Structure 1
C-alpha cells in the first residue's frame, strides 16, 4: 500500500497540488497505437509516469492504454478510424500516405525522439563502410512492415542512389537477427539502436556504419493525432504529453528507477528465468544510446520537450519525396505547417523540469 507521503512526492514536489480535483473526475483514458510491445521496458520513458509514486498523468485527468499494432500502416488506419487517440509518426511513411489519401488528416504534435535513433550494423569484417555501400545489398529488417526499409531508401536517396536492387529480408529481433548476420543471410541490418543492442547481447559482434549526414540530423520519431483532436481534446492532449515529458526526463536521469517503475506497472514484463539485476544490466545496455535520444540535442536552439521546427519538416518532406520516388510530394501535401504543430508545446512544458530532475536523482524504490 502506498503511503500518503509517497503519493505526495509525485504531486506536491512538482507544484501540482492544484490539479488534485481532476483526480475526482472521470479519467480520460487515451489509447495509443503501439507498434512495440508494451512489455518492452524501453517504453519506460512513457510508462514510468503511470506509477503511483510519480503519478504524472492522473492529476491532469488522463491515463494511457496501449493498443498493440503490427505496423505503422495499421497504426495510421486506427488513428483515422478513431480506435486510438494518438500514435507514432515516421515522416518517411506518414507523409506519402497522407499525400495519397487526403482523408488521412493527421498532425504531428510531439517529438518524442529528438535525436536520430536509427543505425546501420554489419559484421566486423564486412566490406560495407558507408551508407552508400548498401545499394544492391541484402538488407535485414525486423519485419517487412518495419521502418528499416524506409530508412534505407531515405539514406540512399540522399546520396543520389537507388534501392531498386536491394533485397529486404525480415530477420526478426535478438538471436534470430544475430544468426542471420553471423551466417551471412544478410549483408547489413538497418534498425533502431535498441534492436541492434539486443543483437549484441546474444553475442553477435557488430560494427556500426555512420548514417548519411542530412538524415542523421533529423529527429527519430513523433507522435501524431487526428487534426480534430487539437480542438476537441486539447486539454487532455496537453495533460498527456506533459506526463510523457515528465516521464522522459525522469527516466533519462534515473534509468534504473524508470525500468523498476515500468516493471511495477506492467508486472508481466518482469524478467523470466534470470534475476532482475541481470535483466536491469541488459536493459541499461540496450538503452545506453536511446536514453540520450529521448532528449533534445545540446546544440538544438529549442530545448522544449516535444518541439519541432519548420526546417526539420521541410527536410522531412524532401527526404520522403526522394525515398518514395514522389517528386511532387511537397505540392501534394500543401502547406508544410499543416503537417506539424507546436501549438501545445508551451503548455506541455509548463512545469518545473529541475524539480523532476531532482526527484529522479533522489528517488528510492
Structure 2
C-alpha cells in the first residue's frame, strides 16, 4: 500500500476542520503549555485510553504540559498533520509510514515509543457461520471499519502471507467502526468482519453476536502503533518528547494495575463515552470490556524489552510482506529515549491505580 504525494495533499484537506474538534475537558491545567496529539479516529474511543488519561491522572501536568487530543479521521491525516506541524505529536502506523520511507520521502518525523504491540486484529463471523478458518474466507465479503484504518492493510498482509491474493480473492466492504460494524455482520451485509480488539469489545458490550475465527498458526508480528513527532521537535525539545512518552508509559502501567480504574479515568475525561442511561458502574464495566483485550498488548512481547521500545523486526517483516525495499530504518524510529521514559517510580503508579476511586 503506497501513499502518494497527491493522497497526502488530499488527506490534509480534512485536517483543518478536524483540528477544531477536540474533547471538551475542564481539567486542562491552567497556565501550562498545551500540546496537540493527533489520532486517526473519527470519534474518541477507548482504543487510545493509555494516550489520553494522563491528563486527568496528573501525569501530563507532572511533565509540565497539558495535552489536547485531536481526532483526525484517518492515519494518513495524522501523518500529514505531524509532518506539517499542525499537531505536535501523532499516532504513527507502519502501514502508512513505511511506504513513504521506501519511496525516500520520509524526512520530517520519527517514531519514538510503541504504545501498543502486535497483534491486535482478528476476523469475526456469526456464531453459525460455516467459516471456521482463514482458508474458508476465499470469495467472501470481508468488512473493515474503513480503508483509511489499519485493520484493512494489516488483514490484507496476513491473508497474503497465507497465499491469498487479497485484491482478487475477497470483496472488501467499509462498514464503519464500533457497533455499526457489528450490526453489518449481524444483518448479513458482510460474511466476516476484520477488526481490532477494542472494537470487538465494543461490539460485545452491545450484545451483538459473533465468534472469532481461529488465528493462523504463524501470525506475523506486525501492526504495532507508535507515538511520533517531528525530528526537529525531538532535537529541540527533547524533554517534552520524553515527557509525553513517560505520561503514556505511566498510564499504561496504571491501566495494567487496575483496568477498571483506567476505565473510570477515561469516563471522567469523556463522559459521553458512557452508554445512554447507564450508571457509573455500568459505564465503567462497558469501557472495561472494550479495553480488556487490548491492555495485554501494552507490554512488549520480547523478553527483557522495556515498555515502549521498538523492535525493528516488526518493521522489517511488514516491509518484506509488501515488497517495500528499505535498507535503513534509522530515520523512521529511535529507541534512544526509552530508558528516560521508563525512569519513574512504577510501584507508586501501581499504588495509585489500586487506590483510585
Q: Is the 8 A contact 2:60 2:243 kept in 1?
A: yes
Measure the CA separation in 1 of the matches of 2:63 and 2:49.
Answer: 19
Question: Whose radius of gyration is greater, 1 or 2?
Answer: 1
The equivalences for 1:97-108 within 5 A come to 97-100=100-103, 102-108=105-111
Structure 1 stretches of 5 or more lacking a match?
1-23, 322-326
Aligned residue for 1:224, secondary structure, equals strand
Q: Is the 8 A contact 1:120 1:190 kept in 2?
A: yes
Quick one: structure 1 residues 243 and 32, their matched pair in 2 at CA, closer, same or farther if it must change by over 3 Å? same
User: Which moved further from structure 2: 99-108 or 72-81?
Assistant: 99-108
Hey, what does 2:307 align to over in structure 1?
305
* 1:199-239, Cα deviation, whole Å (9 max, x unpaired): 22333221112334554534532222222222122110001
Q: Indicate which of 279, 291, 316 corresponds to 1:287.
A: 291
1:341 is aligned to 2:345: no
Hey, what does 2:140 align to over in structure 1?
137
Hey, what does 2:120 align to over in structure 1?
117
Count how many residue pairs are aligned between Structure 1 and Structure 2.
328
Quick one: structure 1 residues 309 and 125, their matched pair in 2 at CA, closer, same or farther if it must change by over 3 Å? same
Q: Indicate which of 299, 313, 316 corresponds to 1:314.
A: 316
Shift in Å at residue 268 of structure 1? 4.1
Shift in Å at residue 25 of structure 1? 11
Quick one: structure 1 residues 230 and 124, their matched pair in 2 at CA, closer, same or farther if it must change by over 3 Å? same
Structure 2 stretches of 5 or more lacking a match?
1-28
Hey, what does 2:36 align to over in structure 1?
31
Measure the CA separation in 2 of the matches of 1:37 and 1:262.
Answer: 17
Hey, what does 2:55 align to over in structure 1?
50
Hey, what does 2:256 align to over in structure 1?
252
Q: Indicate which of 38, 61, 64 corresponds to 1:61.
A: 64
Shift in Å at residue 115 of structure 1? 3.6
TM-score (norm 1): 0.82
TM-score (norm 2): 0.84
Measure the CA separation in 2 of the matches of 1:38 and 1:29.
Answer: 21
Hey, what does 2:229 align to over in structure 1?
225
Quick one: structure 1 residues 156 and 336, their matched pair in 2 at CA, closer, same or farther if it must change by over 3 Å? same
1:364 is aligned to 2:356: yes
Hey, what does 2:282 align to over in structure 1?
278
The equivalences for 1:264-275 within 5 A come to 264-275=268-279
Shift in Å at residue 155 of structure 1? 0.5
Measure the CA separation in 2 of the matches of 1:344 and 1:132.
Answer: 42
Measure the CA separation in 1 of the matches of 2:231 and 2:356.
Answer: 40
Measure the CA separation in 2 of the matches of 1:359 and 1:38.
Answer: 29
Measure the CA separation in 2 of the matches of 1:214 and 1:265.
Answer: 39
Measure the CA separation in 2 of the matches of 1:241 and 1:37.
Answer: 24
Shift in Å at residue 39 of structure 1? 4.1
Measure the CA separation in 2 of the matches of 1:317 and 1:62.
Answer: 36
